[in-house]
Structure 1
Amino acid sequence: MRAKPLLIAGTAIALALPAAAQQSAQPAQSAPTPTQQPVSQSPSTTGPRKDVPRPGYVNAPSMEGLIEELTSLDLPAPAPPVEYPANARRDPWVVGVLDPAEEGLGDDPWRGASGAFLSTLMRRMDTPIASRWAHIALRQTLLTKARAPRDVNPVDWAGERAWLLLRMGEADAGQMLISGVDTDKFTPKMVQVAVQGALASADVPALCPIEDGIRKYETRIRQLVNAMCSSLGGEPESAAAQIDEARRHGRVGGIDLTLADKVVGAGANTARAVTIEWDPVDQLTAWRFGLATATGMAIPNRLLQAAAPRLRAYQARAPLLSASQRLDSALIAGGLGVLSSQSLVDLYSAIYDSTDPSDLPETDAWQLRQAFVGKDRDARLAAIRHLLGKEQSGLQKEGIRALVARAAARIDPDPDLEDDAPELISAMLAAGYDRAAARWVHAVGQMNDTNGDRAWAMLVLAAPDTKGLDLSYGRISGFIGRDNSPEKIRSSLIVAGLFGLGRINEQSANSLNRRYALGLGRRTAWTRMIDSAARMGQAGTVIVLTGTGFQTATFEHLPGAHLYHALDALRATHQDFTARMIAAEALSRT
């Protein structure tokens, strides 16, 4: 509305220019008002006849008069450009939300490490990594509010951290880092990461503040983003026109275009109804996930089951989906380390509250409640067994362990529970209840079968101290002798774990390694790098390198040498709890 007076005046100036030029070429006189007559034109006529005056030139005022009239208008001053006030600006060199000292990383997690080197490690890291606890430690490290290391643009450094978090399935954590940088400082890398963050969070409006960057660096989707943001900004006609233009000449088609049209249709006063056909679709991408979830659509199970774990983790926190719709993905997110034990319990509680009372006894939400408040130990154990005994994938299995962790911690140790002990201990350690698990040390000491071996192996690695633990050479040899895992991977992992944690000496480790050919003496460029980072006290670098060394889907494919050097480096940088949990997890999940 403010622009209208200026626009009208500008039009008057444009129309007056020919008149002003004509006046300067003729003697000054009072021009009579000509009489206008209808003009008949033949089909070949291309314009009005020269001898017929045009209506816009009639009584045209002088240029001086127009300028005087324009300057006398009470027009509002143009709005200043939008700028961040000084007190609202953030330092791009210090982006994060966690105190590194409180996370056990010291005041300076990087301690002179090269940011270019670390960025390369993060960019090339395949996810998911083998260990849930290594995932948790890596997330916390990437979220710390520590000064960016040398040899790197600080905004790009925040972008690399956010991009790794997103690939790990950490949508919310990634968005925290992205939102910690002022948008007028975004680099091309940060723009690209911010697009992925918005899609991971199913937060389409988050694309709108970076439209200018998308226009420059993400040209393939810029027209669709402009259309969606126009719709969200209350401009349905413009949005519809841009979608139609994209359909005719755009670079994106099929369901990707239709989903953008769906978002446009969700805006106010669009009157657009869009039907999504999933049948021809054979792959779920971040774009498809983000736009579908943003409109509250349930993605077909066949696409979800074939999707990357990170997409399942994104779905687990999608606010527009019900708790039941998110359940399977939430267990995967729990297994990855994205969701905590408490988050999983809260999700099951929401399902319990929304279920008809007559249907509750048939649900896992009911079983979880019984695991906590069953009338006696047998009832609680039966519920825990029911949940842990369900057929699930590897990540979902670990998610269920985390789910029942607190209930398992409420079961008193008993040698008679030798069949249950390994899973109860696994569950407790999945949530970090190391002291509750350590109560089973004496009960496990009376078990001499395979179950006893498994429970003992986890406890000698996870317990806060070695009091009451049998760490004799004979006990370890007995475990190795009964180990029937492929290529004795469990034997390699337990000796690597005990040596890395300093619970057996170098002589015993070397003897066991040679006797059973465990391969713990292997040296690589990676082992030299993590050992060097540990010597220099670079706690954050040690965590990143641990993630690099754990780039495998399961512990079965993790070399024992990698576990040993990672644990040794973690312990050297005062990250003992993380080291113990990773070591115990290796024996729990193999």
Structure 2
Amino acid sequence: MPISSKRAVFLTLGLVSAAALASAQDRPESLLPPGFGDPAPSPTPAPAGSLPPPSVARPDPPGAVVQPLPVDTPSPTPSPTPSPVDPAIAAQYEMPGYARRSLDLIGPAGMREGGVDAAAFATANGRFAEQLMRRLSAPLPSRWMSILLRRTLAARLVKPEAVNGADFAAERAWLLLRMGESAPARAVVQGVDTANYTPKLYQVAMNAMLATGDAAGLCPLAAGGAAVTREGGWMVAQAMCAGLEGQSAEATAAMRVVRRRRLGEDIDRKLAEKVIGAGANSRRAVTIEWGGVDRLTVWRFGLANATGVAIPDEMLDGVGPQARLWLAQSPMLPLAERLPLAERAAAQGVFSNVALVDLYGSVADDDSAPNAASAVANDLRTAYTAGDAGGRLAALRQIWGSEPRTRYDRLVLTARAAARLPVAAESEDGDRLVASMLSAGLDRSAARWRSAVTAGGDAWAMILLADPDAQSSISYDDMAVYGGSGGDSRRKQQMLFAGLAGLGRMSAEDAERAAQALDVRIGAQNSWTRAMDRAVERDQPGMVVLLAAIGMQTGDWRGVPPQALYRIISALRAVGFDGEARMIAAEAIART
């Protein structure tokens, strides 16, 4: 069943016990999942080795993630057997055993990344995990779900069973690229020794290097990629790398072969020649013209980015949002062009609050920056440094603007400035202040404002969900006072209930009452919920994160059903991601 913003994940077929059926004539059927409110979840174990088919994601729009340079059709003629290599000579070039990295533990981090344990996938079915990664449609609507998924995929992980470690790294990096996380994707593929590369990893590695504009990153892989995959793109990469190494004669000869074989189109070859021209001993001057180019491929994106060639907006408009997220991370891009992309990346979770503040710090020191960006940078400085709280709050209001709905990226930008404000006795800006702090995970800073916000408003609801020290349960009557601070009040009530129930903050009786009143069937089951239950029971946090992301494949928060939000929060909390669960629940209020 496709998961999209136009079709709900759940189709309301709740499973109830025989006892519930027997009493159905006296009261409505229970909408809660089995075992709700029990100390530990008790899903029905599945037979060993049985896994449900994953939910099928909606396909990416055409051009969402484009492939590298088109390649020639491999010749059916077998390659000649190479001459034997003298073992003594080969030993001079082989990496010593102590320096080789195992395929059983792959990842760029030397320690746990964001609290993700190395064994997150260790007991999972690796083929099922790869299938989920391949089918997952990204980017996701939730900043915090995206952050958790990135931390999971980019962690140093033990290889699950039934898969090749290099191929598993390739699937992780490919999903990271589709999420817009180009730098972590490159780090994952670089975590594998080149001697262990597979055809799949070669393909993904080329995409990762190009997405980061790292043409030189292709050089350690070019010879192996050409030999293993026989793709034309690697032959062009060999020519570029010869040029970057100052071997202009070899680069010229290699490009002559590329032109004779007509690898790629004219724009592809010219961009490669421009990369060669950046090397030592090169006198090439290549002018890039985009007229007549029908589409932007990752090859064109990467080499243009590497050489500082501006990509026309109309070319970027024809690809998926991932390309703009990649571009936001490019230091080659002029600051004025990079800022709006960085703000989008911050809302998506690709940029942190600190990274975005640092970027605006560069604007403050740049006399050529656009006036609008300079004004925001000056207001941000005032929000941190003004001598009185009133002046700092006024600066925050300038950054947020006067629109009824504040842009989420601006809330991310102001998170730490908002956290520095003293708690006011009463504040009309409580909703934005709390949402801003929670966008960066500053939960205790936000909780300080509990007494200053209006009961029943968005800030009140977000603090209820995000407070790390909360102990007491929330009754139905307490929850029912929530009406939201704008927008669809019933939808907000449903999301608050889903969050509280998922965090275990409601009794079974109050949760049943709320589920009936709000028509949120959190007990409904399908293949996705059953897979999630099994992953929780088997303590497979990596699979829980993947399945949680599967449940959020939609364009924005309006497409996330409250039933799915409940399942996601409950499962994440059960496998140790309590903080992320609370942040996702609060984000649902801020962005609904």
Q: TM-score, normalised by structure 1?
A: 0.79
| Worse-superposed segment, 288-297 or 508-517 | 508-517
Is the 8 Å Cα contact of residues 515 and 521 (structure 2) preserved in structure 1?
yes
Residue 110 of structure 1 is aligned with which of 107, 121, 128?
121
Give 1:283 shift: 3.9
Instruction: Supply the distance in 2 between the matched residues of 1:224 and 1:127 (Cα, whole angstroms).
Output: 30
Match of 2:104 in 1: 93
Instruction: Supply the distance in 2 between the matched residues of 1:99 and 1:206 (Cα, whole angstroms).
Output: 21
Query: CA separation of 1:359/1:319 partners in 2, compared to 1, >3 Å: closer, same or farther?
Result: closer
Query: CA separation of 1:480/1:523 partners in 2, compared to 1, >3 Å: closer, same or farther?
Result: farther
Structure 2 letter corresponding to 1:405: A
Query: CA separation of 1:169/1:266 partners in 2, compared to 1, >3 Å: closer, same or farther?
Result: same
Is the counterpart of residue 417 in structure 1 residue 427 in structure 2?
A: yes
Match of 2:467 in 1: 463
Instruction: Supply the distance in 1 between the matched residues of 2:427 and 2:569 (Cα, whole angstroms).
Output: 31
Residue 313 of structure 2 is aligned with which of 283, 298, 301?
301
Give 1:361 shift: 9.6
Structure 2 letter corresponding to 1:562: A
Residue 408 of structure 1 is aligned with which of 404, 407, 418?
418
Instruction: Supply the distance in 2 between the matched residues of 1:393 and 1:438 (Cα, whole angstroms).
Output: 22
Is the 8 Å Cα contact of residues 438 and 463 (structure 1) preserved in structure 2?
yes
Match of 1:432 in 2: 441
Residue 157 of structure 2 is aligned with which of 141, 146, 156?
146
Query: CA separation of 1:298/1:484 partners in 2, compared to 1, >3 Å: closer, same or farther?
Result: closer
Q: How does 1:98-497 map to 2 (within 5 A)?
A: 98=109, 103-106=114-117, 108-215=119-226, 216-217=228-229, 219-281=231-293, 283-304=295-316, 307-355=319-367, 362-389=374-401, 397-418=407-428, 420-444=429-453, 447=454, 453-466=457-470, 471-479=474-482, 485=488, 488-497=490-499
Query: CA separation of 1:283/1:400 partners in 2, compared to 1, >3 Å: closer, same or farther?
Result: farther
Match of 2:66 in 1: none
Give 1:152 shift: 0.7
Match of 1:537 in 2: 539
Instruction: Supply the distance in 2 between the matched residues of 1:361 and 1:198 (Cα, whole angstroms).
Output: 30
- In our comparison, the structure showing a higher alpha carbon Rg is 1
Structure 2 letter corresponding to 1:550: M
SS in 2 for 1:354: coil
Structure 2 letter corresponding to 1:150: E
Structure 1 letter corresponding to 2:380: L
Is the 8 Å Cα contact of residues 133 and 578 (structure 1) preserved in structure 2?
yes
Q: Which runs of 5+ in 2 are unaligned?
A: 1-87
Structure 1 letter corresponding to 2:258: A
Match of 1:547 in 2: 549
Give 1:107 shift: 5.8
Give 1:181 shift: 1.0
Is the 8 Å Cα contact of residues 93 and 155 (structure 1) preserved in structure 2?
no
Residue 517 of structure 2 is aligned with which of 515, 518, 543?
515
Give 1:344 shift: 0.9
Query: CA separation of 1:417/1:108 partners in 2, compared to 1, >3 Å: closer, same or farther?
Result: same
Structure 2 letter corresponding to 1:436: S
Is the counterpart of residue 572 in structure 1 residue 574 in structure 2?
A: yes
Is the 8 Å Cα contact of residues 138 and 178 (structure 2) preserved in structure 1?
yes
Count of residues in correspondence between the two structures: 504
Structure 1 letter corresponding to 2:482: F
Give 1:516 shift: 2.4
Match of 2:35 in 1: none
Instruction: Supply the distance in 1 between the matched residues of 2:436 and 2:319 (Cα, whole angstroms).
Output: 26
Larger helix proportion of the pair: 1
Q: Which runs of 5+ in 1 are unaligned?
A: 1-76
Instruction: Supply the distance in 2 between the matched residues of 1:362 and 1:82 (Cα, whole angstroms).
Output: 53
Is the 8 Å Cα contact of residues 109 and 146 (structure 1) preserved in structure 2?
yes
| Worse-superposed segment, 82-91 or 357-366 | 357-366
Is the 8 Å Cα contact of residues 363 and 374 (structure 2) preserved in structure 1?
no
Structure 1 letter corresponding to 2:422: D
Query: CA separation of 1:356/1:113 partners in 2, compared to 1, >3 Å: closer, same or farther?
Result: closer
Instruction: Supply the distance in 1 between the matched residues of 2:509 and 2:313 (Cα, whole angstroms).
Output: 53
Instruction: Supply the distance in 2 between the matched residues of 1:417 and 1:280 (Cα, whole angstroms).
Output: 56
Q: TM-score, normalised by structure 2?
A: 0.79
Q: How does 1:60-75 map to 2 (within 5 A)?
A: none
Structure 2 letter corresponding to 1:426: A
Query: CA separation of 1:243/1:106 partners in 2, compared to 1, >3 Å: closer, same or farther?
Result: closer
